[in-house]
Structure formats: C-alpha cells, structure tokens
Structure 1
Amino acid sequence: MERNFEKVEEILKKHGYEKKNLIKILLDVQKEYRHIPKEVVNYLSVALDIPPAKIFGVATFYAQFSLKPKGEYTILICDGTACHMEGSMSLIKAIEEEVGVKPGEVTQDLKFSLDKVGCLGACALAPAMVINGEVYGNLTPEKTKEILRKLKEGDDR
C-alpha cells in the first residue's frame, strides 16, 4: 500500500525527530491512522534511526497501540468481575448482532471495532462500555443496540 507520509513528517517535526519521543510519536500516528501501519513503522525507523523491530516491540508491548486498523467508533466492552456478573457478555452478543463485529475485529467499512478489556474502572456503572472515550453504563442489550443505531445514523446521542 502506497502511503503519503506528509502527516508522519508533521508528527516527527512536532516531536523534534527525537528518539526519546517514540511513544508520543506512535500515539500521534495511531490517532491519525487509527492504528500503526507497517509502512509507517518502516518510515519512522529510517527517520529516527531506530530498528523496525524495536518500534514493533514498543507498539506490541503497550496495550493502547494496535497494528490492525480500528473503527471510526472504537468500542471497549468491560469484562471485569462486576461487569461480567452484570451481563457484559450479553452486550457483546448485542453488538455482534447490531454491527456484525466480534471482540478483536473491525467492520469491513472501518466504522466499528470491538475490544474486550479487563476493567474500565466504571464498576458502579456495570455493565459498561466506552466508545471513543465516552462511558456508557448500566447497559442492557437493548440500550446497547440503541446507542449503536444512533451512531450508525450519525447522531452522537
């Protein structure tokens, strides 16, 4: 895949082409592309004089990085103890029914991706999910489907 590296250059300039800023650079790359593309890793390797294996090592070590594309709407479902006991697995099933994606997957149109996480820190709202940083709590499968329908229609609430 041929990629224009103008955005990557802007990110590198912002961080002064400093090796010590690799994590910040990768965060900005991920924000821009919704994942860390392999060809961008290779570009960063040359620009920062860091072996690609080291960059991949950092990108795979930290959970917030993804080497696979994420959806425009990134859904995180909590499956910690409180959420699990309150029915988080039924929410995953509802999401699968509504948008056709299982944990670890992204829809073909890159609109939605779903990840199951150990804890969101929203135990009092169990079961809970986060979509693009917004917390939704005390969910039922029906409430979950309604939220997703509104996002599909382009209405953010």
Structure 2
Amino acid sequence: MENKNYTQVINITPELKSRIDELISHYPADKRKSALLPVLHEVQDAHDNWLSADLMAKVAEILEITPIEVFEVVTFYTMYNQKPMGKYMFEFCLTSCCSLRGAEDMLEYACEKLGIQPGGTTEDGMFSVVGVQCLGACGYAPMMQLGDFYKEHLTPAQIDQIIEDCKAGKIILHDK
C-alpha cells in the first residue's frame, strides 16, 4: 500500500463537530491549538483510523491553525495514520526493552502469519502490522497494542489466537 495517492471522504457529522467543539471548550479561546491531539484522535476514529492531507487541512480549519501545524503533529506521533490501515492494527513496541525480549521476532512472526511486510496491510484490509516506539509497558515485553488494549508477554501461540479472535469478531477495539 506504499506510494499511492489515497483519497478519503471527509465527513464531519454534527455529532463529530459537537464532540470537537466540546474538546475545544476545555482550552482558552485564544489557545484552540491546544486541543489538537484529542481532536485528531476523534477525527481519525471517525474516518476509518487514518488522516488524509485533506482531512488534516479540515482539522486545521476547525482549529484556526495552519495545515502544516497539523501535519507536523501527525507525522511526529505514531498514533496517527497517514494511509488506510487494517481494521486490526498490531502495534509492536520496538524500543530496547521490548527488542531485547523478542518484540522484533513477534512482529516478524505476525507479518509472516498475515503475509505482509512491517508497515503493511493485508489485501482484505483486515490487519496491519507496524513497529512503534515506546508504549510504556517495558515490564510486559514483548508486547503490542491492539486498539485500546495491550497484549503482553507475547508468544507465537498468543499471536495465532489473537489473529483467530480478530477474524471471528471476538475482539472489540473501541467501546464508543
């Protein structure tokens, strides 16, 4: 899925706009930019877990900042996606603690099981596997994040079970 121009339908529903306005209300009127991180989370969640350049520009418009200010944040944090991702995104922590305890092996195993490369998405759009920086769970390595949940002390057997549970619809990513 690399080097493609992805298009995305921008749909700022009344419900989403209300949620964005509520988030902005937590900050001084002249500091709307302070709401950028939570607004990006809401907007990404409402747009199939990714943010196109056009959607980033829309966020900039809403927050009354420049598009480059949004782009700088989206490209800095691994929690924001700039291309379509799978419904289930396996985010493996690859910092030193996790790497020393086998995280890279678990990432490679998941990619092999799903027939994709790191950073890739399965053809059916069901799974993506990415390496990320510290998820703050060093004592539970190797670990990955799946939606809002950590999967810890990973083994190949656990990864197999997680994949099967996802395919069977047993894993719910958000409680929204």
TM interval, short-chain normalised: 0.7 to 0.9
Choose from 6, 11, 14 the match for 1:5.
11
Choose from 14, 21, 37 the match for 2:52.
37
Distance 2:85 2:8 in 1: 19
| Residue 4 of structure 1, CA deviation | 5.0
Choose from 111, 118, 122 the match for 1:107.
122
Normalising by structure 1, what TM-score? 0.80
Distance 1:43 1:120 in 2: 29
Change in 2 beyond 3 A, CA 1:38/1:83: same
Name whichever of 46-55 and 82-91 sits farther off.
46-55
Q: Any conservation in 1 of the 2:93–2:132 contact (CA below 8 Å)?
A: yes
Residue 61, structure 1, aligned to residue 82, structure 2: no
| Residue 72 of structure 1, CA deviation | 1.4
Corresponding residue SS for 1:108? coil
Q: Which residue of 1 aligns with 2:87?
A: 72
Instruction: Provide the aligned length of Structure 1 versus Structure 2.
Output: 156
Change in 2 beyond 3 A, CA 1:149/1:43: same
Distance 2:70 2:140 in 1: 37
Normalising by structure 2, what TM-score? 0.72
RMSD across aligned positions (CA): 2.6
Distance 2:53 2:104 in 1: 33
Q: Which consecutive residues of structure 2, in runs of 5 or more, have no partner in the other structure?
A: 1-6, 25-31
Amino acid at match of 1:22: L
Q: Any conservation in 2 of the 1:76–1:115 contact (CA below 8 Å)?
A: yes
Matches within 5 A, 1:5-154: 5-7=11-13, 10-16=15-21, 19-20=32-33, 21-33=35-47, 34-154=49-169
Corresponding residue SS for 2:21? coil
Distance 1:145 1:5 in 2: 35
